[in-house]
Every structure is written in C-alpha cells, then in structure tokens.
Chains A and B, each alone.
Chain A
Amino acid sequence: MVEPTASLSTLNRADGSASYKCPATGYDVLGSVNAPIELPARRDALKPEDATIEVFVKPGNTTAGVGERYVEGILRSVLTEVVLGRERGYPRRGVVITLAIVGGGSVERGDSYLTVLPALLHTSLLALLSASVPLAMTFSSALLGVTKSGDIVRDPSAADAKAASSLHVLAFSSKGHLLLNESEGCFDFDTWELIRERAVSICRGAAVSGTGEDVAMGERSNDARLDGFVRETVEDRLHVDYAWKIESN
C-alpha cells in the first residue's frame, strides 16, 4: 500500500494550510484554515459561547454544486466536535476551512462523495493543526470497499468504488471513538463489523483491534497506522521550522 503524502503550511497568506495526496485514490486536496476571524455578516446566527465552523469544498474543474453542500455539512458536523470552540478568543468567531480538490477524478452529479471524504477529512485536520486551532483530539479516517465477491479492499479507486457492492468511510478519534461512519451500498451488519475492525486496524494500528488477528497483523507489519501518519507530518514540519534551534543544541 502506497502511503499518502502531506505537507503543512504550503500557503503563505492563510493562517494555516495543508496539502494532502492519496496515491491509492488519486485525490489531491489543498486546504486552508483561517481562524479565528470575525464573521460580521452572521452576527445573529453566531452562538454566544462557541466558535462557528464553516467549511467550503471546491471541486477542481467545476463550480460547487449540491454534492459539495452535502459533504460540507458532514465535515462541519465532524469538525465542530473536534475544534475546541470555547477556548479563549474563539467564541462568537469563525473558523473557516476551505478545501480545494486539485487532483483526482471529479465527483459527478449524484455520485457518492465517500471516495474523497477521507482525503478531505485529513486535509482539514492538518490545516487546522497548521493554523494552531485548539483541538480536543485528532482523528484518522479510512475508505473501505466491499467487492461483489465479498473482499474488503482499502482505498478503492474510482472505478472499483463504482463496482463495489458497498462503500464505507469511518473516522476514529485519537482516543478510539467512532467519530464518523458513512456507509452506502448493500450490506448487513456483520459485514459492517468486519469493516469497522479493519478500519480500526488501519487507523489506529493493531493495539485496539480484538478478534481479527490476521488482518491486524498484516496492517501492523506494513506499519500503516494512519494516526501515526498525521503525527509524522506535523513532526516533519516542526523539524523544518525549528531547524535553527535543533541544530544549535
């Protein structure tokens, strides 16, 4: 499995930014975060004790449509739980996250948005970290497909996703909570439990998984924990930013 690549603070003018590339699905997402900022036009709608999260998703080759509104809603509800909007300086202000899908296949009218969702989630998390927005936890997310023959595949390509009998996106917090589940297709609950197990092992490594020993072993040997990936990306950036200090020691 080819690991995704990411870099932080790629944009100069945004408070925080990240670019994320997932070779398996081919998606390339550029995200920026501006926070905290005043949202003067929305004074009536602002919550008095909390920050308002706004998410905008821009597809690469067209203007945003109804599908983007839907995925924005999902992202907003996940990120609202993650951002500590009650920290000093954040209440009554806005956290504006803009995600541009710059590479990869476009999501056509009425198509499932699930294939891009993990990339969007990871990009927004990295961009939030880059902007130093206080977070309650980090998370990682996995896309899994079940083929017609019943095999579980990780990060199916767009064509495979279309042919799959069901598609699942799960996101787990750094503390092991199931933050998000989006499943569609045709499946039963037992399949979903297998999916969940597999997703836990992808996102959180073997430590948490229970019965699916063989699957978990496989993922561990690949050292493919996704939450580790987030940590490494941030560490890499820190090494670059603090090179002067590290070297002087």
Chain B
Amino acid sequence: MMADRRRVNGPSGGTRPAVFASLAESGTGVSERAQRQRQPSELRKIFLKTGLIPTASGSSYLEFEPSASLAAARINPKSLIPPSSALKLACTVHGPKPLPRSAAFSPNLVLTTHVKYAPFAARKRRGHIRDASERDLGVHLETALRGAIIAERWPKSGLDITITILEAEDDRWWADAPDSHDASWGMMNVLAGCITAASAAIADAHIDCLDLVAGGVAALVSDEEKQSSAAPKLMLDADPAEHRSIVSACVVAYMPARDEITELWLKGDSSKASLENGDKRSVHEALLDGAVDAARGAHTVLAEAVRESLLKTVG
C-alpha cells in the first residue's frame, strides 16, 4: 500500500496490536463476562448536551452511561482490558448554507451526513479514511433525519451534519471468539446514538422539523450456553458486551408526536426464534415495539436537552 503523504505515517512494516496473556491462554484467568444489571426494559442513562461547539450552527454531545462493570473498572482499575465501552460522540450541524456553485438546483434542503470513528474509538484501531461501515451509518442517519426535517423551507441550501465518534460500542464481549452469530451489533447502538444526537444538534441550529426524532435499539438475546434450551429474551438498549449472543436486533428512528418511524434497520436471523410463552406477537413485531419503546425513552432526554438549549438562546 502506498503511504498516505498527507498524514504522518507509522513504521512501513506495520505494527500489531498488543496480545494479552489472559486472552492467549484462553480459559485460565479470564475475567467474568459483564452482566447486565438493568431490567430488560430499562435503558442506559443518556447524557446529552447541546451548543458545546459555538463555531457550528448547531451541535450536541452525547454519552451513554457506562455499564456497571465498566464503571467498576474505572473506579478500581485492575486490568488494562476494559470490560465494555460506552458510546461517546460529538455532532455538529453547519448550515443552512448556499449550495456550492457546481451543485445542481434543488428545491429542498440538501442533507449531507458524515459519520467518522476516531482512530482510537474501538478496540481495533480505525483507519483515517471512511470505511464501508462508516458510510453505511451515514446513509442510515440521513434517511432517519430526512423524514423529520421540513426540507422545502430551505431551497437551494445545504445542511452538513458531521458526527465524530470518540468511543464506540463493542460488537461482542472482548474475550468471545468471533462466531456465526457475530455481526457488528455495536454499530446499531451507535446509530441510535447518532440519530438522537443529530436531532438535538438540528434543533440547536433552529432547523424546522416535524418532531424530534429519537433513536432506539432492541435486541433478542440468548444468554444460555445452548441456544436451543430457552427462548431468547427481548432486551431494550442491549449492550452486546453483556450478552453471550444476540439473535437479532432492531434500531428505529421514531417521532413520538406523529407515531412515525423514519428509519428501521433490522439485523440477524429471527425467523426460527420464538418468544417466551404467552407472547403472541411475531418476533419482528416484538423487536419493533421494543425499539420504539427505547426511542420513547431517548426522546424524553432529547426533549429536555432541546428545552435547555432553547432557554439558553432566549435567556
């Protein structure tokens, strides 16, 4: 690979991430998997603040509450391997601004979304150039927001939404080997956070919207050793690091005032799974309801943050 001359490059031979002894000799000395301390329908607390970046038209900063295990590890650090991680991201909105000369005429506000992980955001070092998953997140985010913004109020204008993820969510518990159930589950939590944060930043930039759109995640998890023995459980705002395996997960962007979903993303194989006894809903319905409930929870935080931002501008 040709070295990137626009950046400071590391050794040309490449470097390897550290291998920890506790991981290499698997089975011995491995610390316990983090356990979910919350109720199945209990969400993590969200810290959301707007207007921290004054050079932007609107901005927000979002942080998920660290899980119990991570909080414990922070207070009393023993291992260099963090048990789980908690989402931290910053969102800025620039605009509405005139479109560049080269752009074609647009009767609506042209939305550009951009999601980028910081190189140090995840367990594995990220590259500087956007990869497929980051582009994917950008597209999902754009769909979620486009349904909420009243775009015809700003013809010939553009709106840039940029999200920098400083700390991402884990896709699985760090000591688990990648297996067939493995997917980038953490990305779904990240998307939910992106939607909520972007919505707050758009409100902070005083862009007219139909409603504040909030993101929520629900997942079907199975914590048993053998997957067949028990029905998977529905968990709201599931942290992948806390579960043995995730059967399927769903993220929605939801506007409570209109009871409308602007973005829906369902992942995983839930065709064979069945819910616990007494639940007549199909698995998809249950996931969807769960995700909407999670989004409602995020919406209360969002509304409070926007109210604060409004009081700041008025007062």
Task: Please report A residues at the B interface, Cβ cutoff 8 Å.
Answer: 44, 63-66, 69, 109-110
Contacts and interface: CB of A to CB of B under 8 A. Distances in A.
A63 B7 CA distance: 13
A44 to B, nearest CB: 8
B87 to A, nearest CB: 31
A110 B8 CA distance: 8
A98 B125 CA distance: 37
Interface in B1-53: 5-9
Nearest to B7: A66
13 contacts: A44-B101, A63-B5, A64-B5, A65-B5, A65-B6, A66-B5, A66-B6, A66-B7, A66-B8, A69-B6, A109-B8, A109-B9, A110-B8
A84 to B, nearest CB: 30
**Interface class of chain A by DSSP:** loop
Interface of B: 5-9, 101
A39 to B, nearest CB: 15
Contacts of B101: 44
Nearest to A67: B8
Contacts, number: 13
B98 to A, nearest CB: 10
Contacts of A109: 8-9
Nearest to A62: B5
Nearest to A44: B101
B128 to A, nearest CB: 13
Contacts of A65: 5-6
A3 B8 CA distance: 36
A63 B2 CA distance: 12
Nearest to B6: A66
A111 B8 CA distance: 12
Nearest to B9: A109
Contacts of A66: 5-8
A44 B9 CA distance: 33
Nearest to A66: B8
Nearest to B5: A65
Given A66-B6, A109-B8, 11 more contacts: A44-B101, A63-B5, A64-B5, A65-B5, A65-B6, A66-B5, A66-B7, A66-B8, A69-B6, A109-B9, A110-B8
A170 B7 CA distance: 28
Contacts of A44: 101
Contacts of B5: 63-66
A128 B188 CA distance: 57
For the complex of A and B, 10 pairs with smallest distance between CB atoms = A65-B5, A63-B5, A66-B8, A64-B5, A66-B7, A66-B6, A110-B8, A109-B8, A109-B9, A65-B6
A138 B147 CA distance: 61
